Amino acid sequence: MENSVIIGPDALPALAELLYRPAVSRVFVVVDSHTARACLPLLEPHLPANYCLIEIPAGEEYKSLASCEVVWSQLTAQRADRHAVVVNLGGGVVTDLGGFAAALYKRGIRFVQVPTTLLAQVDASVGGKTGIDFQGYKNQLGVFQEPAAVFIEQKFLETLDPRQVKSGYAEVIKHWLIADADAFNTNRRLGWLTDDWTPIIRESVALKQRIVAEDPLEAGPRKLLNFGHTVGHAIESYLLLQAGREALHGEAVAAGLVCESWLSVQHGLLSAEELDKIETFVFSVFDKLSFVLMETAAIAEFALQDKKNAGTTINCTLLEGIGNGVYDQPVTVAEIAESLRYYLRLQS
Ligand SMILES: NC(=O)c1ccc[n+]([C@@H]2O[C@H](COP(=O)([O-])OP(=O)(O)OC[C@H]3O[C@@H](n4cnc5c(N)ncnc54)[C@H](O)[C@@H]3O)[C@@H](O)[C@H]2O)c1
Ligand SMILES: O=C(O)C(=O)C[C@@H](O)[C@H](O)[C@H](O)COP(=O)(O)O
Ligand SMILES: [Zn+2]
């Protein structure tokens, strides 16, 4: 089971099997204030009776050092040893933060991911990127550390707000754009509402796992998974982390997908027709984010903190045709600002 991703009705029983092993000294479950209410009842029958609950407030602004301290304080108070297991029950905020906290506690204890949002089920729980935001910058502190295993149960999505479901869909679209043209062409005609996310989750997880297996530490091809994020993270940092304005990760990534597709056209990699297909599809799912022309230069500056950069060069992942991402494409702050202005001019 180590390092595996289990998807479907067998997932939670398989988690129980891991947690009841004699080698596990104690189980700690990290939740946020929403997953404590909406998701814990479904997980609880699969947990040992003496598990310890650690709750952080919900929201990206709590993917912070202060929330890590909450986790570390509880682990310390309960004298958790290196045989303890941390179960992260939540969306990407909980899986990123809980994974990071576990990876640092006593130089690392095991953790498992039980993702409860579409975004965390198709992307955040898989691949071993963990971390927190710092001083208004996304994922500025973090480590690569694979979870012991990931357990994906679609039933958790039943209580999720449709806006959050859409947010997760942005990462699915990203996966299609970088590596699966057929899926993009077929699925964009079906729209984003479905009763059964499992096939889409399976395909997204498999696609991400293939890329991560090739390059777990993001020295090369893993940068493909960051398509939409040079601009997306800049928007998210500027709007949400610095100004407390409305924007979800997936919503910012969706805008980033459009901007970086436009950059791909400017670099002669993508046709205008393909760009049109991408932006029409993105705007069929997402409303336009609310920032204005005057803010585009300030937003673009945030790309200078992107983790793919080398010195002052901003290395963006672009598309050489739909379904074919290319990484390490140098772009300038001015080009990013121009892509944001292009995005604002589009009809949504
Ligand atoms: N590590 C990675 O590879 C990776 C990949 C993508 C995104 N991320 C990170 O993931 C984060 C975004 O994750 P997210 O979109 O899941 O956000 P989130 O964790 O903030 O969850 C969204 C909201 O839904 C609530 N929620 C979660 N599950 C629920 C459920 N089943 N029912 C009702 N409410 C529920 C949460 O409490 C929260 O309010 C960002 O910080 C992003 O940087 C990480
Ligand atoms: O797994 C990856 O690699 C990704 O880039 C997936 C992204 O969707 C995710 O948002 C990730 O957390 C971004 O990482 P960062 O290194 O740009 O902070
Ligand atoms: Zn992302």
Contact between 142 and 132 under an 8 Å Cβ cutoff? The reply is yes
The catalytic site residues sit at: 107, 129, 171, 208, 218, 222, 226, 229, 233, 249
In this structure, which ligand is nearest to the CA of 315?
2
The string of pLDDT tens digits covering residues 192-247 is 778 789 999 999 999 999 999 999 999 999 999 999 999 999 999 999 878 888 89
Give me the mean pLDDT over the 119-123 stretch.
98
164 within ligand 1 shell (Cβ under 6 A): yes
325 within ligand 1 shell (Cβ under 6 A): no
User: Which numbered atom of ligand 1 lies nearest the CA of 133?
Assistant: 41
Tell me the three state secondary structure of residue 136: coil
125 within ligand 2 shell (Cβ under 6 A): no
Q: What is the ipTM of this complex?
A: 0.99
Pocket-testing residue among 34, 140, 153, 161, ligand 1, by greatest number of atoms within 8 A of Cβ: 34
The string of pLDDT tens digits covering residues 234-287 is 999 999 878 888 899 999 999 999 999 999 999 999 999 999 999 999 999 999
**H-assigned helices in the chain:** 11-19, 33-38, 40-43, 65-77, 92-104, 118-119, 162-179, 181-187, 198-214, 229-236, 249-266, 272-285, 296-301, 333-345
pLDDT for residue 348 is more than 90:
no
The string of pLDDT tens digits covering residues 26-83 is 999 999 999 999 999 999 999 999 999 999 999 999 999 999 999 999 999 999 999 9
Residue having the nearest C-alpha atom to atom 4 of ligand 1: 124
pTM score above 0.90: yes
Chain mean pLDDT for the chain: 96
